[in-house]
Structure 1
Amino acid sequence: MLQVREAPYTRLCSKKPILTVNGQFPGPTITAYYGETIYVNVHNKGNSNITLHWHGVQQPRNPWSDGPEYITQCPIKPGGKFRQKLIFSYEEGTLWWHAHSDWERATVHGPIFIYPKKGESYPFPTPDAEVAIVLGEWWKSQVKDVYEEFIRTGKTPNISDAITINGQPGDFFPCSKSETFKLNVHYGKTYFLRIVNAAMNLNLFFSVSKHNLTVVSADGGYTKPLIRDYIVITPGQTVDALLHANQKPSDYYMAARAYSSGSVPFNNATTTARIHYMENHAPTKSPPLPYLPDYNDTKTAFDYYVSLKGLTETYPYEVPKDITTHILTTLSINTLPCLEDQICAGPNGTRLASSMNNISFNTPRFDILEAYYYHINGVYDRGFPRFPPLEFDYTAEYLPLVLQTPKKGTKVAVIKYGSTVELVFQGTNMITGIDHPIHVHGFNLFAVGFGFGNFDKEKDPMTYNLIDPALVNTVLVPNNGWASVRFHALNPGMLHCKILLFLKCHFLCIYHQWVWFVHCHLERHLSWGMETVFIVTNGEGDAALLPPPPDMPPC
């Protein structure tokens, strides 16, 4: 059971109450085995609405428990509860859960550990111990106040006051030095670091001094082992890495700091935690800091991403080759006119916005999934464009002011069930260029390509990795560049249909209808409207979308 409530938190330079789950920050770890179904009872004992999202859990036939507010459910009101069903299918490794309402996820989040089937093992030597490493951000102010102020004024939100590892900013913040997270290790042992980036608005470099990290999984999907002295991890992503305790017994820092290639203000602090060898050694007052690339080192960041390769033996299905549905969407920072009687602090007296394909998403006040299921009109509109309605030099240094104002709307994209989809995210230099971590709910994505400048539909697919791309749920789109993913427009449960069709058991095939959220995982961009919804149409058969649970939160 998860109880969401306010609790005093005195360990991080502050005595303010924060919203926690079961009184913990970060929240408790949820564990499961490959293919299991578990139930989580969520009780809202706070004083504001809440939803919980199980990030990367694909939920075959069950978007009802996916969690984004007013997309697949209405929020759990104070005093309310919701029994959420988590259906694990092909996920294995580390995922995470978090609030998906306003900015509550700043303190309402925690890891999910998914182990191999009972009796089976990892595709790498079994580590001696495992530990969650949850990276986050901290504001001295109440996060709710930060959110309400930047929404009201239309400006960029105040940057965080600290970056944290397992809820602590580390030794460089004297008021919480005694609470710095410490990982005790024994020489010769191997430690499984389950790393989550729960930060609100920061891509991060992460490293351990004097030690290499062997990346073995990303976003709940195994990768070919990749040995690096640093990793890059965006908000929403998870990385599993092996740490071999093979250095001279001493104390060493693990550390993280921002990767930010744009001109937007960001927290440039470094957060630390300690690796402490349990063997006898002289006390270490000042452990060495690890190598961390420069804040704006885009080349280094994407050298890492391009080097990530999927472990093909564990792929749930082949990389799509014959694409039936092409979607290209621009990702832009925009401005909107100031509302009447409003003081706006955006550029030239405007308020900041964001968009996909020039549409800044209007969040409805009734959830889209129930509107779709019960055929309720007026909640959303079909017709999210498959290609940019305004074509221009997306990454030009100077762009006409007329392009800055997006349309407002609740537009969704309808995708035919069974389609093979290529989805290209194109960053633009509107207002400012910046990297965008894009999360697609409900699907595994093959990250087949990255590039800089404007996507060239003739030349750039020639560079795709269609052999062993990483299988992810969140993809980082480079500043003034593009990223391309491919996926099957069906959930993992549908793979049985593929097998059954091969056996000519047509009558047993399972067809679903789905409503899934697509959005930037930089929380300020999500708040401004960089999001849309995919509706995958229903097929035929006797096992479609599960009915809504009886305790679905009312609007």
Structure 2
Amino acid sequence: MDWNVSFSNSLSPLSIDQQVITINGMFPGPLLNATTNDVIHVNVFNFLDEPLLFTWNGIQQRLNSWQDGVSGTNCPIKPSTNWTYVFQIKDQIGSFSYFPSINFQKASSGYGPIRVNNRNVIAVPFLKPEAKFDLLIGDWYAGDYKYFRTLLGTEVSAYDVTPDAILMNGKGPYGHPMSTPYESFTVEKGKTYRFRISNVGNTLSFNFRIQNHTMLLVETEGSYTNQISLNSLDVHVGQSYSVLVTADQNDADFYMVASPKLLDTSIIGLGVLHYSNSTTPASGPDTFDLDFSVNQAKSIRWNLTAGAARPNPQGTFNVTNVTLSQTFILQSTRAEINGAPRLVVNNVSYYTSNTPLKLADHLTNGSGVYTLYQFPIQSVNSEAAYGISVVTGNHRGWVELVFKNDIDDMDSWNLDGFSFFVVGFGSGDWTPDSRNTYNVIDPIVRSTAQVYPGGWTAEYAFLDNPGMWNLRSQNLKNWYLGQELYIRVYDADPNPAKERPPPDNLLLCGIFYQSNAPAPAPGLLTGF
């Protein structure tokens, strides 16, 4: 498929003069609809006025971090040029999203939905719904993203700027005086529908509910869950869920509500669930309990008996008796470095190199670009400083990731290349004794997990996917200001079954850039 990525002033969701990033003239972008093991080709034509990359949030890129689309793995697509991503959606099902990964561009959209469907030979653990709806929800700033990113890098107060709206599929809230048409879905009484809900926003977690309706949770980011009925659902930045909703009310219109978590603000996302025979407009909305979030998170469990990408039950792959080979304790907080506001992990703020780490790894063993073993994975540096944060992940070893959030806001973390088992949440400091509280029986498996203010989240991941993989905050401000690192999972075996060679269309940049130089010959892998 071809994607023409450009700016539009005609699709501004708040009826103001504002540039929106569109794909083929669409905001949000087109649906990527695939089936397990499909190979995807996306030819991106960059008609913006600055470099561009797309990342495929939650898609694991098996053996192929060359296609991950982040600054540490790919040279950017320059303006007025194109580049083709080619990747396989290997051994996955579920609901995901894509978005621009550099230059703070996600704040101006460029995002869209990804569906990965089961192969026909594997049963879905619920009846086929009448229809499927993609519902992309996220906070939105009414202003130029380039101005805001400049302000964010120089003014400490810019970090606390509150978004102006919460959008649903790129549309402003119902009844908002500056909104374009609100989002609405038409349903028929007595029928059941699947909503794939993704938080594609920049900063805010939200609580989602549909007035007078219950939701049956069935899937999150590639895992079928134990099916639980919910009146409302917390969705944190970067997360995706599938819920089933039965239209079991009298013919009328009902609000779909997305309200921010842990933020005292009047902004709210508002759409409409419209019954096909309704003549009654929506009214409300109802209220919700702010304090239930952690308990809800702990109640979301893996469905151990359902198959997913493979016919084996999900519970075949469990963490009840794993042996950990590494533990990374990652503490996030805000700091100032040389007078500039930054986010730090263990007092290191990630510095983006002009040369992608993966490219340097392939051509020079990383020399001249980064050095392994300098990032503190279980301690905190005495002073905040910039660094190109790369750590070694033991190939085919189990790693324990402990995220500690010393910021006053909700955070969420994503690991490219893998799904992880979310084994624990807690408040205050994490200690080895905290492992006694872990759920290792049926923890949910996903690619993005929230970390509560003043709390910690623990995850297990099996590092069976060689490559250079991005570990980042999904909060766009945090990510832009340095809250990320890379895990280098290396396998010395040059067999392509272990890791894919670089693509034939590999881009060069940074210290390797030559205007007329051909790409290095694929197939030659180097490493430490």
Q: TM-score scaled by structure 2?
A: 0.90
- 1:270 is aligned to 268
- 1:243 is aligned to 245
For 2:337 and 2:156, how far apart are their aligned partners in 1?
Answer: 9
Equivalent in 343, 359, 363 of residue 354 of structure 1: 343
Q: Is 2:212 aligned against 1:220?
A: no
Q: Is 2:458 aligned against 1:457?
A: no
Read off the aligned partner of 1:164 and give its amino acid letter.
L
For 2:8 and 2:74, how far apart are their aligned partners in 1?
Answer: 26
Q: Is 2:435 aligned against 1:433?
A: no
Secondary structure in structure 2 of the residue aligned to 1:148: helix
For 2:99 and 2:266, how far apart are their aligned partners in 1?
Answer: 24
- Per the alignment, do residues 267 and 65 of structure 1 end up closer, same or farther by CA in structure 2, a change over 3 Å counting? farther
Q: Deviations over 1:235-280 (max 9, x none)?
A: 111011111111111100001011126xxxx75401100001112x
Q: Is 2:306 aligned against 1:317?
A: no
Q: Is 2:397 aligned against 1:419?
A: yes
For 1:541 and 1:312, how far apart are their aligned partners in 2?
Answer: 35
Read off the aligned partner of 2:408 and give its amino acid letter.
G
1:300-449 to structure 2, matched below 5 A, reads 300-313=292-305, 314=307, 315=314, 317-319=317-319, 321-338=322-339, 351-375=340-364, 376-383=366-373, 384-389=375-380, 405-428=383-406, 432-449=407-424
Alpha-carbon contact 2:337-2:385 (below 8 Å) kept:
no
Read off the aligned partner of 2:303 and give its amino acid letter.
L
Read off the aligned partner of 2:294 and give its amino acid letter.
F
- 2:472 is aligned to 519
Q: How far apart are residue 541 of structure 1 and its match?
A: 5.8
Read off the aligned partner of 2:318 and give its amino acid letter.
E
For 1:518 and 1:311, how far apart are their aligned partners in 2?
Answer: 26
Read off the aligned partner of 1:60 and give its amino acid letter.
R
Q: Is 2:499 aligned against 1:545?
A: yes
Runs of 4+ with deviation above 6 angstroms: none
- 2:284 is aligned to 288
Read off the aligned partner of 2:272 and give its amino acid letter.
R
For 2:358 and 2:156, how far apart are their aligned partners in 1?
Answer: 29
Q: Deviations over 1:133-188 (max 9, x none)?
A: 001232221112111222133443433211101111222312326x1111100001
Secondary structure in structure 1 of the residue aligned to 2:432: coil
Read off the aligned partner of 1:468 and give its amino acid letter.
D
- 1:121 is aligned to 123
Q: Is 2:158 aligned against 1:162?
A: no
Q: Deviations over 1:281-300 (max 9, x none)?
A: 4432x42213333xxx3x41
For 2:329 and 2:141, how far apart are their aligned partners in 1?
Answer: 36
Alpha-carbon contact 1:220-1:238 (below 8 Å) kept:
no
For 1:367 and 1:159, how far apart are their aligned partners in 2?
Answer: 33
Q: Deviations over 1:67-115 (max 9, x none)?
A: 012x011110001111111211232121111100121112110000111
Alpha-carbon contact 1:250-1:276 (below 8 Å) kept:
yes
Unaligned runs of 5+ in 2: 308-313, 510-528
For 2:267 and 2:471, how far apart are their aligned partners in 1?
Answer: 30
For 1:291 and 1:191, how far apart are their aligned partners in 2?
Answer: 24
Read off the aligned partner of 2:324 and give its amino acid letter.
I
Read off the aligned partner of 1:546 and give its amino acid letter.
R
Secondary structure in structure 2 of the residue aligned to 1:170: coil
For 1:15 and 1:143, how far apart are their aligned partners in 2?
Answer: 13
Read off the aligned partner of 2:317 and give its amino acid letter.
Y
Quote the RMSD (CA, aligned, Å). 1.8
Unaligned runs of 5+ in 1: 339-350, 391-402, 492-512
- 1:509 is aligned to none
Q: How far apart are residue 119 of structure 1 and its match?
A: 4.4
Alpha-carbon contact 1:382-1:413 (below 8 Å) kept:
yes
For 2:266 and 2:386, how far apart are their aligned partners in 1?
Answer: 33
Q: How far apart are residue 537 of structure 1 and its match?
A: 1.7
For 1:381 and 1:156, how far apart are their aligned partners in 2?
Answer: 32
Read off the aligned partner of 1:31 and give its amino acid letter.
N
Q: Deviations over 1:301-352 (max 9, x none)?
A: 11111010012234372226211111111111222232xxxxxxxxxxxx32
- 2:74 is aligned to 73
- Per the alignment, do residues 114 and 413 of structure 1 end up closer, same or farther by CA in structure 2, a change over 3 Å counting? same
Equivalent in 34, 37, 45 of residue 36 of structure 2: 34
Equivalent in 194, 219, 223 of residue 192 of structure 1: 194
For 2:7 and 2:56, how far apart are their aligned partners in 1?
Answer: 21
Q: How far apart are residue 411 of structure 1 and its match?
A: 2.3
Equivalent in 21, 29, 50 of residue 52 of structure 2: 50
- 1:396 is aligned to none
For 2:436 and 2:349, how far apart are their aligned partners in 1?
Answer: 32
Alpha-carbon contact 1:215-1:225 (below 8 Å) kept:
yes
Alpha-carbon contact 2:396-2:462 (below 8 Å) kept:
yes
Read off the aligned partner of 2:58 and give its amino acid letter.
G
Moved more, 72-81 or 166-175: 166-175
Q: How far apart are residue 461 of structure 1 and its match?
A: 0.9
- Per the alignment, do residues 274 and 387 of structure 1 end up closer, same or farther by CA in structure 2, a change over 3 Å counting? same
For 1:16 and 1:531, how far apart are their aligned partners in 2?
Answer: 29
Secondary structure in structure 1 of the residue aligned to 2:358: helix
- 2:514 is aligned to none
Secondary structure in structure 2 of the residue aligned to 1:462: helix
- 1:503 is aligned to none
Alpha-carbon contact 1:452-1:482 (below 8 Å) kept:
yes
- 1:343 is aligned to none
Secondary structure in structure 2 of the residue aligned to 1:373: helix
Read off the aligned partner of 2:111 and give its amino acid letter.
H
- Per the alignment, do residues 231 and 381 of structure 1 end up closer, same or farther by CA in structure 2, a change over 3 Å counting? same
Q: Deviations over 1:37-60 (max 9, x none)?
A: 221111111111100001111011
- 2:463 is aligned to 489
For 2:360 and 2:12, how far apart are their aligned partners in 1?
Answer: 44
Q: Deviations over 1:463-492 (max 9, x none)?
A: 11111100010111111111100011113x
Secondary structure in structure 2 of the residue aligned to 1:175: coil
Read off the aligned partner of 2:395 and give its amino acid letter.
Y
Percentage of pairs with the same residue = 24
For 1:113 and 1:277, how far apart are their aligned partners in 2?
Answer: 25
Alpha-carbon contact 2:11-2:27 (below 8 Å) kept:
no
